[in-house]
Structure 1
Amino acid sequence: MFGFRHIKFDSMTYVIHFSNGKIVKEGRGLSFFYFAPDSSIVAIPMGSNDLPFIFNENTLDYQTVKIQGQISYKITDPKALSNTLDFTVNEAGVYKKNDMEKLNQRIINLAQTSTSSFIHELSLKDAIRSAKQIEANILEGLMASEAVKTMGIEIMGANILAVQTTPEMARALETETREKLQQQADEAIYERRNFAVEQERKIKESELNTEIAVEEKQKQIEEKRMETEVQQEENNRILREMKIVADISVESQRKQLIEQKTENDRKEAETQGYILETSLKPYKEIDWKILNALSGKQDAKNNIALAFRELAENAGKIGNLNISPDLLETILKH
């Protein structure tokens, strides 16, 4: 009525009442009457705000990544913000301009600026895994920004919810990762097989070394046995040589004995012959008939034998001589 109005704000809104360009009252949660024709009311929300954002950046290898997250902030100096943006409300308490969106966009732009240079130095794979570094860069950039300080804003935090690439590139990375995982699995299998082969090789090598050691021991035993046999043969040879030498010595002595015995027998025979020859020499010139007569063995048979001998010696003088078997038998009987 007559241009006077009443307006009321909650405790989370900082209110500045301007009248004819001068601040009449200010504070949080005010409720008052004002004269509309010469009044202007600014209402700035004091609560914390969570600002979601999504923006795209290019990586070092010219791939696009989508960064999604949120920034938490609150207004700490409403008068400084009112000097930068228009938060004037009408009689119903509705903002005449949507400068809150402008404030949010400025914060997002500052966050993107803080992120761009960092993302441009990373490859796609590194960028996807760099959420914590992106958060740190956003916080550092916003807190160091003069624009934020000028607007009277306090940055409470920044969170990166996702760093994503395009669906096609994501599928390609998934394929590559899957191939690498398969390759790693194959390498693990290969390493296990290699380990098993290596263990088998070590076992076989150990067995072979054992066989070699056994063969070497058997070789040493065989060599020792052969040395023993050679030594035994050498000993036997020496014994045979010693026996031969002994036999030769014995045979030599035997030969000397035989030669001596032969010489003795010869001398004895010569002596006996000489004795016999000397003994028989007187009878050498005597007729055998006389010797036969002197022997004293005069019987009929000897006489018949002598007679037949005389006949044989004088056969050339005898013409015919017949001696019948009966005559001979009769003579032998007598």
Structure 2
Amino acid sequence: MASIKRYPWISHFLGSPTGYVVHLQKGAVKHQGVGQAFWFRPANSVLSEVPVDDQELPTLFHAITRDHQDVSVQANVTYRFIDPVSVSSRLDFGLQGAGAPPAAGKEQVATIIGQLCQSHAIDQIAATTLAQALEHGVSQLRNVLTEALRTDSRLMSTGIEILGVQVLAVRPESDVERALQTPVREQLQAEADRAVYERRAVAVERERTISENEMASQIELATRRENLVTQEGINSRREAEERAAAGLIQAHAAAERQGISATAEANQVRIVGEAAAAKEAATMEVYQGMDQATLLALAFREAAGSLPNIGNLTITPDLLSGALAGLFKDAPAVQPQPAAVTARNER
């Protein structure tokens, strides 16, 4: 932004790097260029500053399609001043004093470019339907406006160069736009509902699979439990059979042992009896050849083993004579004196 310092009867101008200044003094160009600095007298000088940097001009206008639908076009035009002297001579870019209204050069450029854009866009949109304008309007309008503005004679003679045109949007009225959006919204809603239904179907299928797996697991557990109970019954029955068989074997073994013991005892008794009988028979055979006195002596000896202890023994003459008579058969008999035999038992 250029700055002007004012002194009595004279002022000083200091330019900016983006402003092209044209100093006219008495109708003749005194100074011109970018970044100028000079003294001038306000009484006979006119200063104009034309920006030489790129300028952005947004524009918005309406047009009617072939099927009588109103659409709004939003565009942005980039331009610059390539001939600042011509621009300063045809447009108002003068530097005003303090308190004066600003120069209207930019507003004039905006009006010129906006009217050119609107006229060419209206001609292009009027030949297309709403659907075509919405589908291909942005690219078609960009090409048409770029070509039309760059070849416009007024802009070229003024010293304005169009660097580019961008069509940002071609939109119908709000009611029409909502109506056009409804089928797409319904389709999107239908797709969303279908996705929800598919997700629910997948969830139900997964739940069914989980339920089937749980049921299969329960059936498998029940089958295994049944097999376990059956196997436990078989094991118990086999264990009982084995215990019965073992008991039977033990009973047979005990019976056999008892039979063997009984047989052994019977054989022992028989052998002992036979031995005792043989002994008795041998004894009888021995006793058959003995006389009465010997037998009597043997009887006394056998009886003595089972008789109680006898402390005193009294032998009478009759008993002694009989015994002596047996011992001495050939000796003469001696008449003994009567005597009494008394015995006293002692323990």
Query: Normalized against structure 1, the TM-score is what?
Result: 0.52
Report how many aligned residue pairs link the two structures: 185
Offset of 1:178 from its aligned partner? 4.8
In structure 2, C-alpha distance between the alignment counterparts of 1:180 and 1:127, rounded to whole Å: 22
Contact 1:119–1:127 under 8 Å retained in 2: yes
String of CA shifts for 1:134-185, please: whole Å, max 9, x gaps.
Answer: 100110110111111011011110111111111100111112445678999x
1:78 maps to 84
* Letter of the 2:46 counterpart: S
CA distance in 2, matches of 1:86, 1:182: 56
* Residue type of the alignment partner of 2:37: S
Residue of structure 2 equivalent to 1:171: 178
Hey, what does 1:136 align to over in structure 2? Answer: 143
Residue 51 of structure 1 aligns with which residue?
Answer: 57
Which AA in structure 2 matches 1:57?
Answer: A
Alignment of 1:74-153 (within 5 A): 74-91=80-97, 96-129=102-135, 130-153=137-160
Q: CA 1:81 to 1:113, structure 2 compared with 1: closer, same or farther past 3 Å? A: same
Measured in 2, the distance between the counterparts of 1:149 and 1:93 equals 34
SS in 2 for 1:134: helix
CA positional deviation for 1:92: 5.6
Q: Which runs of 5+ in 1 are unaligned?
A: 185-334
Q: Which amino acid aligns with 1:118?
A: Q
> For residue 326 of structure 1, what is the aligned residue in structure 2?
none
Whether the aligned pair in 1 keeps the contact of 2:79 and 2:161 (CA below 8 Å) is yes
Is contact 2:80–2:163 with CA below 8 Å preserved after alignment? yes
Pairwise CA distance, 1:94: 7.8
Residues 91/29 of structure 1: CA separation in 2 closer, same or farther (3 Å cut) = farther
Deviation at 1:9, TM superposition (A): 1.3
Instruction: Compare relative contact order (CA 8 Å, sep 6+) and give the higher one, 1 or 2.
Output: 1
Cα distance 1:56–1:158, how it changes in 2: closer, same or farther (>3 A)?
A: same
Distance verdict in 2 for CA 1:87–1:66, change over 3 Å? same
**Quick check: 2:120–2:148 contact (8 Å CA) kept in 1?**
yes
Q: Is the 8 A contact 2:142 2:165 kept in 1?
A: yes
Residue 24 of structure 2: which of 5, 18, 37 is its match? 18
Say which SS state the counterpart of residue 105 (structure 1) adopts: helix
The structure where helix makes up a greater share of residues is: 1
Distance 1:93 1:144 in 2: 39
Give distance in 2, aligned partners of 1:94 and 1:48. Answer: 26
Structure 2 contact 22–88 (Cα < 8 Å) conserved: no
1:37 aligned counterpart, secondary structure: coil
1:52 is paired with a residue whose SS is strand
Aligned partners of 2:20 and 2:101: how far apart in 1? 14
1:7 to 13, 20, 25: 13
CA contact (8 A) 1:7 1:93 kept: no
CA displacement at 1:70 relative to structure 2: 0.4
Give secondary structure in 1 for the equivalent of 2:13.
Answer: strand
Partner residue, 1:231: none
2-structure distance, mates of 1:38, 1:20:
6
- Per-residue displacement from partner, 1:44-78 (whole Å, max 9, x unpaired)? 00000111111110100111111112001111011
Contact 1:43/1:89 (<8 A) preserved: yes
1:156 aligned partner: 163
The alpha-carbon distance between structure 1 residues 97 and 109, as it changes in their structure 2 partners (threshold 3 A), is same
Q: What TM-score, normalized by structure 2, do the two folds share?
A: 0.50
- CA shift, 1:97, in A, is 2.6
2: CA distance, partners of 1:178 / 1:10: 54
Identity, % of aligned positions: 29
Over the residues paired in the alignment, what is the CA RMSD in angstroms? 2.4
